[in-house]
């Protein structure tokens, strides 16, 4: 199997990666250069799940299979480059819904084999963690170490990002992810899936001080999160309404606003502990779909200000699942490998539903 030319890796300007993301319900492909230029990006956010009110893993895997070939073709056409200009193929190998990860990574391996290119298997969480380092993505140049708050439908964790391959998970959710809590409460309020954006919109019509809801783990030491008690408390408020259609809109808005206030306050408390636990962090970054929530963002910004930390949130399309972050992570890993005189080709890497970040340094160990 050919390896990427080490001189290309060292110049930091000559690599072009084709990347694929398929770990949940977004089928995505991108072509990314090592200077951070995105030559092409395509994404298909699967509509197949709407009728079920949540992602159905089996349907997601089949949808990736149906859409991936056309999406890759479109990406190559958009970039208007030749295969001979591409240095490697990268794909998410985990963690995630295993069916989708198998589809995306096998497809990428097929491309790599057919084109005689190295294959780079990417950890999805590591890719989220490194997104803020894509040059020009924000007004800050992001240097290690920094603190990342990753908050999506499937993940909710604080990570101290010390270097490529060196991550310390300060804490994570012990039950639901924040996005899951937003989605479940939205469902209780009769809103359509995904519920987060709809709940935020409804909350704008409500009074956030109407109900005092629990803020799980608030004031406790550590950086873990818990949201299921809050979700249950909202459910209890709604028990007198047998049918969601009889719920007055004003009441629904007040519940939405009170829920948003409670979850934000719980998150900020845990994040404050994470900042204290990583005092050398140069900035606070965020990623994941829930980071789209303006109310939450405003409070994270205020927290960052309190600790004199710059707050970096990539543009929304790079906060949510995308293939650009997969390509960028491959570039960072290849450059790090070159520094360690290592050549990476993960063609025999197996897709993993779980893949702890603590294992990432192994690729640089001899
Ligand atoms: O990162 P993402 O697109 O996909 C994964 O879960 O991997 O995140 C989707 C999650 C959903 O739970 C969605 O409801 C939530 O992010 N979300 C929001 C908002 N926009 C998306 N939650 C709260 N407020 C929002 N504005
Ligand atoms: Zn994700």
Q: Which residues does residue 21 pair with via DSSP β-bridges, in sequence order?
A: 28
Percent helix, strand and coil across the chain, each to the nearest 5? 45, 15, 35
Distance CA 3, CA 254 (A): 58
pLDDT at 13: 52
For helices 249-277 and 195-203, what crossing angle results, to 10°? 110
Q: Which residue has the tokens 């639901």?
A: 176
pLDDT at 326: 98
For residues 89 and 18, the answer to whether their CB atoms sit within 8 Å is yes
| Strands, E assignment, the chain | 16-21, 26-33, 38-45, 88-94, 119-123, 146-151, 156-163, 166-172, 284-287, 311-312
- Give the annotated binding-site residues: 124, 128, 150-154, 183, 196, 200, 293, 321
Distance CA 169, CA 90 (A): 24
pLDDT at 12: 44
182 lines ligand 1 (CB under 6 A): yes
Residue 17: left (phi > 0), alpha (psi -120 to 50), or beta? beta
Ligand 1 atom with the smallest distance to the CA of 180 is: 12
For helices 195-203 and 178-188, what crossing angle results, to 10°? 70
pLDDT at 246: 83
What separation in Å is there between the alpha carbon of 259 and the centre of ligand 1? 16
What separation in Å is there between the alpha carbon of 152 and the centre of ligand 2? 7
- Give the annotated binding-site residues for substrate: 150-154, 183, 196, 200, 293
For residues 288 and 151, the answer to whether their CB atoms sit within 8 Å is yes
What separation in Å is there between the alpha carbon of 1 and the centre of ligand 1? 39
For residues 293 and 185, the answer to whether their CB atoms sit within 8 Å is no
Q: Shortest CA distance to 286 belongs to which of 309, 312, 267?
A: 312
pLDDT at 221: 98
Q: Which residue has the tokens 């949201």?
A: 227
Give the ligand at the shortest distance from the Cα of 126: 2
pLDDT at 251: 94
Could you say which residues of the chain have pLDDT below 50? 1-2, 6, 9-12
Task: Please count the residues of the chain.
Answer: 366
Q: How far, in Å, are 17, 83, 281, 299, 307 from residue 276 at the CA level?
A: 37, 47, 9, 17, 9
C-alpha dihedral over 47, 48, 51, 56, to 10 degrees?
Answer: -120
What separation in Å is there between the alpha carbon of 198 and the centre of ligand 1? 10
pLDDT at 139: 86
pLDDT at 194: 87
pLDDT at 140: 87
Residue 169, SS3?
A: strand
> How do strand 156-163 and strand 146-151 relate by DSSP bridges?
antiparallel
Distance CA 23, CA 210 (A): 39
Residue 225, SS3?
A: strand
pLDDT at 317: 94
For residues 210 and 203, the answer to whether their CB atoms sit within 8 Å is no
Distance CA 345, CA 291 (A): 33
Q: Which two tokens stand for residue 339?
A: 């520094």
92 lines ligand 1 (CB under 6 A): no
Q: Which residue has the tokens 């900020």?
A: 268
96 lines ligand 1 (CB under 6 A): no
């Amino acid at each position: 199997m050919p390896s990427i030319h080490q001189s290309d890796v060292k110049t930091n300007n000559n690599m072009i990666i084709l990347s694929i993301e398929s770990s949940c319900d977004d089928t995505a492909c991108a072509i990314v250069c090592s200077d951070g230029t995105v030559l092409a990006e395509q994404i298909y956010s699967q509509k197949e799940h709407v009728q079920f009110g949540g992602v159905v893993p089996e349907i997601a895997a089949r949808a990736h299979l149906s859409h991936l070939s056309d999406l890759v073709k479109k990406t190559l056409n958009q970039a208007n480059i030749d295969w001979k200009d591409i240095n490697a193929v990268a794909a998410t190998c985990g963690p995630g819904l295993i069916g989708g990860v198998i589809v995306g990574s096998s497809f990428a391996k097929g491309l790599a084999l057919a084109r005689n290119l190295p294959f780079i298997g990417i950890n999805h969480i590591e890719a989220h963690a490194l997104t803020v380092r894509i040059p020009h993505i924000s007004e800050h140049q992001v240097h290690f170490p920094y603190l990342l708050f990753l908050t999506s439908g499937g993940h909710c964790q604080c990570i101290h990002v010390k270097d490529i391959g060196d991550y310390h998970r300060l804490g994570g959710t012990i039950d639901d992810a924040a996005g899951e809590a937003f989605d479940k409460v939205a469902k209780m309020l009769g809103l359509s899936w995904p519920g987060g954006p709809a709940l935020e919109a409804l909350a704008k019509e409500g009074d956030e001080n109407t109900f005092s809801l629990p803020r799980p783990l608030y004031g406790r030491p550590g950086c873990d999160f818990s949201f299921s008690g809050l979700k249950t408390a909202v459910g209890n408020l709604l028990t007198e309404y047998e049918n969601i259609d009889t719920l007055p809109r004003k009441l629904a808005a007040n519940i939405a606003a009170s829920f948003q206030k409670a979850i934000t306050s719980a998150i900020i408390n845990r994040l404050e502990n994470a900042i204290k636990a990583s005092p050398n962090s140069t900035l606070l970054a965020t990623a994941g779909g829930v980071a789209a929530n303006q109310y939450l963002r405003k409070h994270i910004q205020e927290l960052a200000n309190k600790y004199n930390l710059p707050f970096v949130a990539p543009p929304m399309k790079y906060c949510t699942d995308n293939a650009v972050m997969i390509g960028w992570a491959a570039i960072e890993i290849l450059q790090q490998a070159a520094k360690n005189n290592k050549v990476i080709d993960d063609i025999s890497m197996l897709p993993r539903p779980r893949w702890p970040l603590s294992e990432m340094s192994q690729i640089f160990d001899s």
